[in-house]
Amino acid sequence: MATLTTPAPEAQVKDVRRRRRPSLGKIAGWAVLISLIVVTIFPFYWMLRTALSTNAALFTDTSSLGPVGFSWEGFRRALGLATVEESLADGGSGASLNLVQNLINSVIVATTVTVVQTLASAMAAYAFTRLQWRGRDTLFKIFIVGLMVPLIFTLIPNFVLMRELGLIDTLAGIALPTLFISPFAVFFLRQFFMGISVEIEEAAQIDGAGRLRRMFQVILPQAAPALITLAIITYIAAWNDYLWPLMVSNSESSRVLTVALGVFRSQATDGTMDWAGLMAATLIAALPMLLLFLVFAKRIVNNIGFNGIK
């Protein structure tokens, strides 16, 4: 058997060399990849490590890799559970942070925007793909042009509009500009709806299903993957938005998490930064997105590409 299957000596040598040569490159490749992964993850770990430390210990021990002077006080301060005296004693600025309220505000804004915007976009996409009406292509072209306007340009005029509507410092004012419209979402869903076959919808129509029913019970279930992906992207964007809520809100009642973090940071002058409290707060702000990602990672990762998710 050995004589039959063993290749000629020269061939064997060649084979070994060929296998060994890329393996060196492979080691280098893995080294680069692993260092990139470490650099990517480390700040998240550092957030946690700092949040679980006390400010006093952070000043004296800057390089221990684990939490120093282990304590939950950072989280208690961030959630507004600590009194001002406790906060000052622990090296906090004494500034109050009421992340629970901010968290609720963020959830309300992000959820409302995601649900309404996805629904409105799906309806529009349905009309653009499945209904035949005069002006359809013209209106769609206007949507495409809308896609080209940088959202940042609309902020100042939209602020003026919210002021005129008396919606400054309200959650409604924060949600409204993106509530019904994302040209991108309409465009993205339209592309997806175009790929759904007409036959099933035709069968549903023969069974007497009206347009709304056809959209909800025939098209949307088939478009579920695209809808979920879009909803996740919308939720993340709404959750992380900073400049617009910063413009609109000017009191605790309408403050979302990102703005609250910015305010908390600016309350401290550089020498007296409450790092433990601040890192606890950033962790609380980031956690919902990280959990969302944990659940949907595979879907998100596989959906990022040139099919239009941006």
Partner 1 sequence: MTDTMEAPARRAAVEDEGASPRRFRLPHLSHRRGDLIAALFFVAPATLGLAVFLVWPTLRGIYFSFTDYNVFTPAQWVGLDNYVRMVQDPEFWHSMWVTVQYVLVNIGVQTVLAVLLAVLMHRLTRSVFVRSVMLTPFLVSNVVVGLVWLWILDYQLGIGNKFLEWIGIGRVFFWGDDKLVIPTLALITVWKFLGYTALLIFAGLQTIPEQLYEAGRLDGASEGRMFRSITLPLLRPYLAMVVILSIIGSFQVFDLVSVTTGGGPVNASQVIQMEIYKAAFGRFEFGYASAMSVALMLVLLVITFLQYRLSRAGSSDLA
Contact 188, 309 (CB under 8 A): yes
CA-based nearest residue to 283, from 46, 2, 3: 46
Nearer to partner 1, 11 or 212 (CB): 212
Q: Considering the complex, what minimum distance in angstroms separates the CB of residue 5 from partner 1?
A: 22
Nearer to partner 1, 9 or 271 (CB): 271
Q: Considering the complex, what minimum distance in angstroms separates the CB of residue 173 from partner 1?
A: 11
Q: Considering the complex, what minimum distance in angstroms separates the CB of residue 8 from partner 1?
A: 19
Q: Considering the complex, what minimum distance in angstroms separates the CB of residue 242 from partner 1?
A: 4
Nearer to partner 1, 3 or 23 (CB): 23
Nearer to partner 1, 80 or 262 (CB): 262
Nearer to partner 1, 71 or 258 (CB): 258
Contact 105, 171 (CB under 8 A): yes
Nearer to partner 1, 2 or 152 (CB): 152
Nearer to partner 1, 100 or 287 (CB): 287
Rounded to whole angstroms, the Cα distance separating 271 from 264 reads 14
Q: Considering the complex, what minimum distance in angstroms separates the CB of residue 263 from partner 1?
A: 10
Q: Considering the complex, what minimum distance in angstroms separates the CB of residue 95 from partner 1?
A: 15
Q: Considering the complex, what minimum distance in angstroms separates the CB of residue 68 from partner 1?
A: 11
Contact 49, 252 (CB under 8 A): no
